[in-house]
Chains A and B, each alone.
Chain A
């Protein structure tokens, strides 16, 4: 059984290099169960990289990342199993282009969780219902709007019953009128107590749903604060500078 104080995700002294480029510099971050953490920062500051190291889509150069107390395993069956417990939602949706919406959601449960097709279908339809795209179940991803595709992507992650979900700019590729339909689903998840790491510049979401905002610049975590505190009284000059830029446009 988990000790109450143990973080669900723990990053300790994490370093990441791309060749000569230092993408993550001594990153330390603990995320508690049921916590929602918003990661914010200028382009190229390492937000995606941070997000992707948590399910080892990117390997780290040194340091340690644990999920539920367990060190991320090397590539192989153990890593696949761990990834099934970590949901990921991408900026570009990445729905499987040759599969229907329903098949997108049932693939993981059938292949990884070994559910029967009928069980997986039933569960998937309930999830699609919940994100509001059940009537599109037999269509292909390209036949849906961006907002609908992203909601399907969230359902696909939820179908694995993840312990934690990672969102890498889930609304950045969407037309403005579709952003809220996705944020609404995410706020719902946050309310239900899903542990979430969300890279986003949507301050409304951060204010409503996040427990903490992590501000990154040049590969470092510069500031960690409660949302209200961060947006009204940023401490570092880089955060002030960044906020003044995103607020003016």
Chain B
């Protein structure tokens, strides 16, 4: 196998990682926001449900969460497509979303706590409902204040996509393993190559978050 073929293998692996990451990013931001909103809701049932979920899932190893999704869901006959590779992709993203959303929610909640109470009071005084107050005033400000810690959570998730390689997913780590199988003589360069690929993705993400932080800063 020559260099070009190896490179192609890595590029398709990187593409697999990016796909997992992107879907999981959107999903965990949405679910994390919903969980954070439940955590601060005036309804005790919602608060308790969210904090129970967060405490349980956050303290479970991601590998085990993946096992639950990759083996538990098919056992319950929950499938999302006809091909096993597509199902594996969905199971892995569900696991990543379920797990990362906890950290997103906790980060957001700490951001909500820093918003002066007068902001929500002013919104309620204008006649906004609880949901509108959260959507229009509290969460947008909370998001902006937690961009740096949220960046860490999201970069951790990027690295966590690697666990999906153990569950029949095609991404960077699986590409690396396949490459090592055929070119064992290149094991060291292949390991470094993989590390560099993650490094580039993580640094790019960091730049995006730095940009967002500068762009969305709230003057007070």
A-to-B contact residues, CB < 8 Å: 55, 57, 75, 77, 80-88, 90, 92, 94-98, 107-108, 111-112, 140-143, 153, 156-157, 160
Contacts and interface: CB of A to CB of B under 8 A. Distances in A.
- Range class of the B interface residue count: 20 to 34
Contacts of B123: 96, 107
B219 interface: yes
Interface string B2-32: 0000000000000000000000000000000
Contacts, number: 75
B141 interface: yes
B61 interface: no
Interface of B: 42, 116, 118-119, 121-130, 132, 136-137, 140-141, 144, 218-220
A98 B126 contact: no
Contact of A160 (B118, B127, B129, B137): B127
A106 to B, nearest CB: 11
Q: Which 4 A-B pairs have the closest CB atoms?
A: A84-B127, A142-B219, A94-B122, A94-B118
Contact of A80 (B118, B122, B124): B124
A88 B123 CA distance: 10
A77 B219 contact: no
DSSP class of B's interface residues: helix, strand, loop or mixed?
A: helix
18 contacts: A57-B124, A75-B42, A80-B128, A83-B126, A83-B127, A84-B127, A94-B116, A94-B118, A94-B121, A96-B119, A97-B141, A98-B144, A98-B218, A107-B136, A108-B126, A143-B219, A160-B126, A160-B127
A98 to B, nearest CB: 5
Contacts of A90: 118, 121-122
Contacts of A77: 129
Contacts of B218: 97-98
Given A82-B127, A86-B125, A88-B125, 5 more contacts: A84-B126, A97-B218, A98-B141, A107-B126, A111-B128
